[in-house]
Structure 1
Amino acid sequence: MTIERIHTTDRLSRIVKHNGTVYLCGQTAGQEEWDIAEQTRQCLTKIDTLLNEAGSNSDSILSVTIYIRDMKDFAAMNEVWDAWFADRAKPARACVEARMARPIVLVEMSVTAALAD
Structure 2
Amino acid sequence: MTVTRYETSPVYSKVTEANGFVFTAGVIPTDLSKDVEGQTAEVLAEIDRLLALASTGKAKIVQATVWLSDIRSRDGMNKAWSAWLGGEGAPARACVEAKVIDPRMLVEISVVAVK
Q: CA deviation at 1:72?
A: 1.8
Indicate whether 1:93 and 2:88 are aligned: no
Which residue of 1 is the match for residue 77 of structure 2? Answer: 77
Q: 1:24 to 1:93 in 2, by over 3 A?
A: same
- Cα distance between partner residues in 2 of 1:17 and 1:92: 19
Indicate the SS of the match to 1:11: coil
- Cα distance between partner residues in 2 of 1:11 and 1:95: 25
Which residue of 1 is the match for residue 68 of structure 2? Answer: 68
Q: Which amino acid aligns with 1:46?
A: E
Question: When the two structures are aligned, how many residues end up with a matched partner?
Answer: 115
Q: CA deviation at 1:30?
A: 3.8
Q: CA deviation at 1:104?
A: 1.6
User: Aligned Cα RMSD in Å?
Assistant: 1.0
- Cα distance between partner residues in 2 of 1:96 and 1:82: 17
Q: Which stretches of structure 1, 4 residues or more, deviate above 6 A after TM superposition? A: none
Q: TM-score, normalised by structure 1?
A: 0.94
Matched-pair contact (CA < 8 Å) for 1:31–1:104? no
- Cα distance between partner residues in 1 of 2:2 and 2:32: 40
Which residue of 2 is the match for residue 26 of structure 1? Answer: 26
Identity over aligned residues, as a percent?
36
Q: 1:109 to 1:98 in 2, by over 3 A?
A: same
Indicate the SS of the match to 1:45: helix
Unaligned runs of at least 5 residues, structure 2? none
Q: CA deviation at 1:40?
A: 0.4
Unaligned runs of at least 5 residues, structure 1? none
